[in-house]
């Protein structure tokens, strides 16, 4: 039986081989979890739709429903504690945070008020740019585009493009 040090050496060697193969095939480097996990299997384990991929390092909380052929990038937070639905053929870029709750009132009332929750609904064919935040209660209509680094705190209609802090629909 291998000692802990021997096993750790074997794991490190495996990580190195997997990382090298990924770099050669796709010129990318990912975390250990994403080296050994299959993104499509991860999505299936969450019950997400067929053809959806989800990086291993995505944080999924509560009731999250995701449609078919959606890409969920690395370092994403999907908070479904108030309910979260994401449609088909969406792109949820790296570092996006989608929240269906907040604790502002609970914190500032020193626990006297409850956690505030409201569902988030993201339509079909939606693109959310990197590092954007979608707040509780927001609906993003089908085929809308959210620019990178945006704070989305109100609904965005179907087909619209919005960006900024706070995000505003662009004409």
Active site residues: 102
Q: Which residues pair with 152 in a beta bridge?
A: 134
In 3-state terms the chain splits into helix, strand, coil percentages (rounded to 5) of 25, 30, 45
SS3 46: coil
Scan for tokens 């770099």, then name that residue. 23
* Per-residue 3-state assignment (H helix, E strand, C coil) for 47-109: CCCCCCEECCCCEEEEEEEECCCCEECCCCEEEEEEEEEECCCCEECCCCEECCEECHHHHHC
| Cα R_g (the chain), whole angstroms | 19
């Amino acid at each position: 039986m291998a000692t802990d040090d021997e096993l750790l050496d074997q794991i490190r060697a495996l990580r190195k081989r997997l990382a090298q193969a990924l770099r050669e095939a796709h010129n990318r480097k990912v975390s250990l979890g994403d080296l050994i996990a299959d993104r499509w299997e991860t999505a299936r384990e969450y019950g997400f739709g067929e053809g959806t991929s989800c990086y291993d390092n995505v944080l999924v909380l509560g009731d999250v429903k995701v449609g078919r052929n959606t890409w969920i990038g690395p370092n994403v937070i999907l908070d479904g504690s108030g309910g979260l639905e994401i449609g088909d053929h969406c792109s949820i870029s790296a570092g996006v945070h989608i929240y269906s709750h907040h604790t502002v009132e609970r914190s500032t009332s020193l626990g006297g008020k409850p956690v505030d929750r409201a569902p988030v609904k993201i339509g079909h064919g939606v693109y959310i740019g990197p590092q954007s935040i979608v707040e509780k209660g927001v609906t993003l209509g089908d085929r809308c585009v959210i620019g990178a680094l945006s704070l989305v705190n109100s609904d965005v209609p179907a087909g619209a493009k919005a960006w900024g802090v706070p995000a505003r629909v662009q004409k």
